[in-house]
């Protein structure tokens, strides 16, 4: 009996010591990793490899959130979180397949845009799928509301598919409307998320198709100037215009030309960035943006490639913004604290939760219900039928 009690005491003491050492090691690892991260001064693009089209970027306090087009990949509209702009993690999916009755499964369709924003005390994501919609939440981590369709009128016209949201200094939000090749407009949003006030018509911007499609426009404001950034088309091109007031008068706007500096690195693989997010300013005065680009070497061909997300410094020459030219060389990283998120191209999964993790995607709405996590603990069981079943991650080094 004495020996048994002694062994039990030794076992308990060892167990407690092991837990203490494990906790100590974890805390020390986290502390050391923070020190190591601060000692590393650079990063290399892309910050989100794989396929992440049409990025939008939101800064709220010390947190950054990213969303974009998910097309036919579902659950739709993944929301990413970061505190350092380099390391990102999915924290929610806005639209489950069961609520996406207006979203089609075709690869060229699905959910477009995914413009994440914050105004009137709530988070909003606007997207297009057979019309313009929004979902609303009190936290980017969700839960998100059911989709609400945005109403239009003859003056506004059809709302298109590549819109974004600009919030002015006074907190007033505007939808940056894009529909087809010729229509570029602005219209305020009310507290219910619906369009309000009169339309600011900017159709003159691309009247001669000088910016190809002038798609995916975003806006920011600096030193009293409004900046309007239209992308060329899916293959590349990014431009910028400037005005001192939100007006439809074309004479009040200045066309500043290309946004990105010319590529000088012959080995650069992401040569035609565009569809940038609205640039944001950090506490140290620097400005940054996210943009999409295809991984191509020695050519600008984009066909059949994933649109990977890169982080670009924005350089101001007076009141003229420039995006840093794409390069394969390390770039000085933002002066921000470590996010605690590891950079990874894929994420492991032990399937030990009741719900499938946020980083998994399906190619069709039907496939999203063709699995179970309950049949065998620690396993995902696919439920095959006569249709194709895909479950995948988009965060791969090569898409």
Residue (of 81, 76, 78) closest to 60 by Cα position: 81
Burial tier of 267 (Cβ tally within 10 Å: 0-12, 13-18, 19+): exposed
* pLDDT for res 37: 58
CATH number of the domain that 231 lies in? 2.115.10.20
9 shares its domain with 47: no
- Is residue 399 in a domain? no
* pLDDT for res 175: 98
- Is residue 196 in a domain? yes
4 shares its domain with 126: no
Write down which residue in 297, 332, 367 finishes a domain.
332
How many domains does the chain fold into?
2
What is the C-alpha separation between 89 and 23, in angstroms, rounded? 24
Which residues on adjacent β-strands are paired with residue 355? none
- Is residue 277 in a domain? yes
Instruction: Name the residue range of residue 1's domain.
Output: 1-39
Sheet hosting strand 56-60, strand order edge to edge: 56-60, 63-67, 76-82, 89-95
The Cα angle at residue 102 between residues 88 and 157, in degrees rounded to 5: 95
* pLDDT for res 181: 94
66 shares its domain with 180: yes
98 shares its domain with 24: no
**Tens digits of per-residue pLDDT, 40-98?**
899 999 998 877 888 999 999 999 999 998 877 778 899 999 999 999 999 999 988 77
* pLDDT for res 398: 44
* pLDDT for res 340: 85
What is the C-alpha separation between 186 and 198, in angstroms, rounded? 9
- Is residue 188 in a domain? yes
Which residues on adjacent β-strands are paired with residue 337? none
What is the C-alpha separation between 236 and 271, in angstroms, rounded? 9
13 shares its domain with 61: no
What is the C-alpha separation between 288 and 272, in angstroms, rounded? 18
91 shares its domain with 19: no
Write down which residue in 287, 314, 332 finishes a domain.
332
80 shares its domain with 152: yes
* pLDDT for res 227: 99
10 shares its domain with 86: no
Write down which residue in 300, 332, 364 finishes a domain.
332
Residue (of 370, 260, 276, 359) closest to 315 by Cα position: 260
Residue (of 252, 253, 227, 225) closest to 238 by Cα position: 227
104 shares its domain with 198: yes
- Is residue 131 in a domain? yes
- Is residue 292 in a domain? yes
Per-residue pLDDT of the chain (399 residues; tens, 9 = 90+): 554 554 444 444 444 444 444 444 445 544 555 565 567 899 999 998 877 888 999 999 999 999 998 877 778 899 999 999 999 999 999 988 777 777 777 666 778 889 999 999 999 999 998 889 999 999 999 999 999 999 998 888 888 888 999 999 999 999 999 999 999 999 999 999 999 999 999 999 999 999 999 999 999 999 999 999 999 988 889 999 999 999 999 999 999 999 999 988 877 777 888 899 999 999 999 999 999 987 765 555 555 567 789 999 999 999 999 999 988 889 999 999 988 887 766 678 888 888 888 888 777 777 777 788 888 888 988 887 777 666 767 665 444
* pLDDT for res 34: 56
Q: Taking a C-beta distance cutoff of 8 angstroms, is the pair 324, 315 a contact?
A: yes
267 shares its domain with 150: yes
203 shares its domain with 316: yes
What is the C-alpha separation between 290 and 311, in angstroms, rounded? 5
- Is residue 358 in a domain? no
Burial tier of 131 (Cβ tally within 10 Å: 0-12, 13-18, 19+): middle
29 shares its domain with 60: no
What is the C-alpha separation between 17 and 5, in angstroms, rounded? 18
What is the C-alpha separation between 85 and 310, in angstroms, rounded? 10
- Is residue 392 in a domain? no
* pLDDT for res 157: 86
């Amino acid at each position: 009996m004495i020996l048994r009690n002694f062994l039990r005491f030794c076992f308990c003491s060892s167990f407690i010591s092991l837990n203490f050492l494990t906790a100590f090691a974890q805390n020390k690892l986290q502390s050391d990793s923070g020190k190591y991260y601060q000692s590393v001064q650079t990063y290399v693009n892309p910050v989100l490899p794989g396929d992440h089209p049409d990025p939008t970027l939101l800064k709220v306090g010390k947190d950054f959130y990213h969303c974009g087009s998910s097309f036919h990949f579902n659950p739709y509209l993944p929301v990413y979180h970061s505190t350092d702009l380099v390391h990102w993690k999915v924290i929610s999916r806005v639209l489950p397949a069961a609520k996406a009755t207006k979203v089609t499964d075709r690869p060229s369709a699905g959910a477009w845009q995914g413009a994440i924003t914050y105004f009137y005390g709530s988070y909003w994501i606007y997207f297009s799928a057979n019309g313009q919609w929004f979902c609303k939440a009190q936290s980017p981590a969700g839960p998100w509301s059911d989709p609400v369709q945005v109403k239009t009128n003859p003056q506004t016209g059809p709302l298109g598919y590549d819109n974004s949201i600009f919030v002015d200094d006074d907190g007033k939000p505007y939808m940056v409307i894009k529909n087809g090749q010729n229509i570029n407009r602005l219209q305020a949003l009310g507290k219910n998320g619906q369009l309000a006030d009169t339309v600011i018509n900017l159709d003159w911007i691309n009247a001669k198709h000088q910016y190809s499609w002038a798609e995916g426009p975003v806006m920011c404001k600096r030193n009293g100037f409004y900046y309007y950034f239209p992308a060329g088309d899916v293959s590349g091109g990014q431009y910028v215009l400037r005005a001192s007031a939100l007006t439809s008068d074309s004479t009040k706007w200045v066309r500043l030309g290309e946004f990105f500096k010319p590529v000088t690195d012959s080995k650069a693989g992401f040569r035609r960035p565009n569809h940038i997010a609205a640039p944001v300013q950090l506490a140290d005065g620097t400005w940054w943006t996210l943009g999409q680009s295809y991984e191509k070497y020695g050519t600008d061909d984009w066909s059949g490639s994933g649109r990977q997300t890169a982080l670009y410094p924005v350089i101001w020459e007076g009141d003229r913004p420039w995006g840093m030219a794409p390069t394969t060389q390390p770039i000085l990283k933002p002066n921000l604290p470590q996010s605690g998120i590891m950079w990874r191209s894929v994420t492991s999964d032990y399937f030990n939760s009741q719900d499938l993790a946020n980083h998994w995607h399906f190619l069709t709405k039907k496939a999203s219900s063709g699995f179970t996590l309950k049949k065998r603990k620690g396993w995902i069981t696919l439920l095959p039928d006569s249709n194709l079943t895909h479950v995948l991650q988009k965060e791969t080094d090569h898409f």
